[in-house]
Every structure is written in structure tokens, then in C-alpha cells.
A and B are shown apart, each in its own frame.
Chain A
């Protein structure tokens, strides 16, 4: 059985609790939110702590912090699902380093540490005979990292095109379907909870660029940072542009593109044929990988969501469980 320390019990953390609740292979022995934490070697009653959190705003007591749990508790795998900090990766980066230094495995959906410090974390994990896995960081439930690393193993990748930001996809598809302006579609996305109060990182292409950096470094063996990604956002797109694209059977989507040989990484609105597999409405995510032998393969599915993202985390946990016979 695998003992888990769960850092973060927001949307994704709750999904993890939900997915692991009835799975006898796993036991959550510690949990933390931003203000508190709790430890129980016999296994935490997840429903009970969520109920407590609802009442008091805390899941446990203030003497347990994420760092202390990472450093002191007896667990096999740390699941890190706190908010993304794109500039420093902190505090998640430190929590993860503490765990790896102790030879504990780490599974995360947090893009910050992986996009900023992939090589360091990988080296630290290796040094300590531990694994770090992060399927949930790119395209939520879509198994793009495992799919490329294992499913398409050995296939040289010629190019990769992805719809990696659900907010932008929602806005552009609503502009297309209803002729809305950018501002109108953004307001609608906010009302439906598809856009954050401050959507800057989504609409200016940064979020998609961070995911592209993760794919480039972890799957394609590149060594790039956010600065290497040329970025153009969607905020200047007019309804007329989408109408004009339609006259030749095209539409506009925010596309993350990558040509490994040319070291060419870009996130920008592009014209796509309306029947391209990367054209769909709503908040799905998709990636088309153009490979040498397999031709073009498209992965598509839920790019976010509580149990959807937890599904990616579960697959990483099962991988570790099997590899280390826990």
C-alpha cells in the first residue's frame, strides 16, 4: 500500500481525495492547506476533513505546514497540488525538493516547479532513487506526457500543435458561434467560471507557453524556458477576423506549436481549417503530434476539472506503485 501526503486540498486535491477514497492500494496519511495540516498514520477520513474545512476554513491544525509534513511525516509519495507560481515555483518547489531529498516520490499537477526546474528536480530525484511525475501539468486528464513518452516511444517528433488553454478555446469558439466580441465572450467565460478573475496569464498565452515548455523539456529532451516561447495573446482578435477566416473554411484558435529541430516554440492565434481535429468548442484540450512513422496523432479530452485532473495524478501514482512494488 502506498502512503500519500496530500499538499493542497482545493479543486484538484479534492478530486484526488475522491478518486483515492475507495482504492485500497492508497492511504492518505497527511494533508495540508494554506493555513493548516494534519497527520494520521492510520489514514485520514477525507470527508471529515473537508467538512471541518468548510466550517473553520482549515483542514487541520496550524502546527502542521506543508514543509513540516514534507520533511517529517512517514509517507511514500507526496502529491503536490497547490496553486501555480509561474515566476518562482514557490512554495511548491521547496516542498518538492524536501520530499525528493528524503527519497520520497512526488506527483504534481503544479506547472510552476516543473516548467522552471525540470532538470534539477529530475536530477535530485535520480540522486535519491525517487520518481517525480507530472502528467496533470499539461492538458489535465489528457495523457499527453505518457502518451508521447511511451505510446509514441522512438518516433521522431517533427512538430507538435496543441490547444492547451481551455479559457482561450472557450472565448474563441463563442466568438465564432455567436459573433461575440472578445470582451463579451470573456465576460461570459467569467460568469461560467471558465476564466479567473484575472485572466491575464490565460489570454496572453503564458499558461499555454508554460505547458509547451514542460512538453519540450520533459518529452522532447530540449532545454528551454518561457523566454524561448514567442507569445501572442487573443485579446486583439476581432469578430470580423473570425468571419473572414470562415469565408475560406478556416477558423481561429490559440495554438501552441513546437518544431523540435528548429527549436521553434510559439503560442499564437492561428488559422486552422474548420474540420481540423484541433477545432472544437468548449474547454477541451488537444494536442496533435506529427511523427516520423505514425503520421499525425491527436490526443483530446478534458483539460481541467477536479476528478479529471485527479485522473492524471492517479495514473502517475499507479505507475510508481507498480515500479516500486509499494
Chain B
């Protein structure tokens, strides 16, 4: 299976017509999906370079070649940020979540830079009544996500928590 990554490219373009198109061509040729494009003009220095942020998702193996072809067009790439956690899934947990050591639940799923609990929200209606939590797990790929889900299911069985998961829900 091919690994997809999401990355932000900060491009410096000369402020003249056709430059953006020149930059986009190699990107689309690389097979990448363009997610957003935003550009800002330096108002204080008219005629200076145009800075464009492009968020793309593409196969990780295609990235070096894309950077080469941008360079070949004389386009400066000043920053590459890579969002590594590409898979995201949301879960709702119901049960005695706090009584059963929430930190332990989260710690057992968290694997630095590989799977992370990125959002956690809890509502406790009354003392001794089951509480409800919503948590979002992000993972680098589907295999790691499946791994995290397995762990979550094991924890839920141990702690008598009910899990409600999404149908589909992968980025």
C-alpha cells in the first residue's frame, strides 16, 4: 500500500503573470491533490516576491521528485511542513470513564508521532452515573489506526466502556 502524506509548501514566486500556473503544473503532474492555496502579497514592497502556501496530499515517494521539478522551474520552496498523522477517527465512549483512570486509557493509545489522542471531551451528568466522552485518534497510517483501535477495544472491554465508532471516517 502506498503511503500518503499531507504537506505544506511555501513557494516564493516572482510577482508577474503566469507564475502561479508554472508552480501548479509540476504539482499536479506529481499526482498530488491540492487541498488549499493561499497567497499573500507583501504590501510594503510592491513588486517583491509573492508568497504562496499550498497544502497538498501526495504519495510520500513522489515528494523528492516534485521538489526537484519545482527547483528546475526556478521556484524557491522555503518551507515544507509535513502533517504525519493522516488517519483520523472519532469515537464516543460511555461508561465510568473517570473512575477507570482516564490517563491510563489515553496513555495506552498514545504512541509519540505515530498514534495520538488529539481531542478529548468528557461530560459527567451526575455522580455515579455513566459519563460520556468523545475522543479523536490520529495515526500515521491505517495499519497504526487499526492497531490503536484494537487497543481501545481491549481497554473498553477491561473497563466496561461502550465504544461507538464511525463508519468509514478515514482521511
Contact = CB atoms under 8 A, between A and B. Distances in A.
B102 to A, nearest CB: 16
B35 interface: no
A255 B94 CA distance: 18
B15 interface: no
B132 A240 contact: yes
A204 B33 CA distance: 43
Contact of B92 (A161, A255, A271): A271
B26 interface: no
A238 interface: yes
User: Chain A interface residue count: which class?
Assistant: 20 to 34
Interface string A227-259: 000001000111011011101101010010100
B125 A271 contact: no
A233 B91 CA distance: 16
Contacts of B130: 236, 238
B90 interface: yes
B94 A271 contact: no
Contacts of A270: 164-167
A255 B90 CA distance: 17
B169 A236 contact: no
B167 A232 contact: no
Interface residues of B, number: 18
Interface in B75-121: 90-92, 94-95, 121
A189 interface: no
B123 interface: yes
A272 B92 contact: no
A303 interface: no
A312 B169 CA distance: 34
B134 interface: yes
A269 interface: yes
Contact of A237 (B90, B94, B121, B166): B94
A290 to B, nearest CB: 10
B165 A240 contact: no
Contacts of B162: 232, 236-237, 269
B90 A271 contact: yes
Contacts of B91: 271
Interface string A248-283: 101010010100000000001111100010000000
Nearest to B93: A241
A240 B123 contact: yes
A240 B130 CA distance: 10
Contacts of A247: 134
A232 to B, nearest CB: 7
Contacts of A276: 167
B163 to A, nearest CB: 8
Contact of B166 (A236, A241, A250): A250
Given A236-B130, A238-B125, A271-B164, A250 B90 contact: yes
Nearest to A288: B167
Contact of A257 (B123, B125, B131, B167): B167
A238 B132 contact: yes
A255 B169 CA distance: 15
B92 A244 contact: yes
Contact of A238 (B94, B121, B167, B169): B94
B167 to A, nearest CB: 5
B146 to A, nearest CB: 12
Contacts of B169: 271
Contacts of B90: 248, 250, 271
A240 B97 CA distance: 14
A271 B123 contact: no
A252 B92 CA distance: 10
A241 B92 contact: yes
Interface in B115-168: 121, 123, 125, 130-132, 134, 162, 164-167
Interface of A: 161, 232, 236-238, 240-241, 243-245, 247-248, 250, 252, 255, 257, 268-272, 276
A-B pairs with the 5 shortest C-beta distances? A240-B132, A244-B134, A271-B166, A240-B123, A241-B132
8 contacts: A161-B167, A232-B162, A236-B130, A252-B92, A252-B164, A270-B166, A271-B92, A272-B166
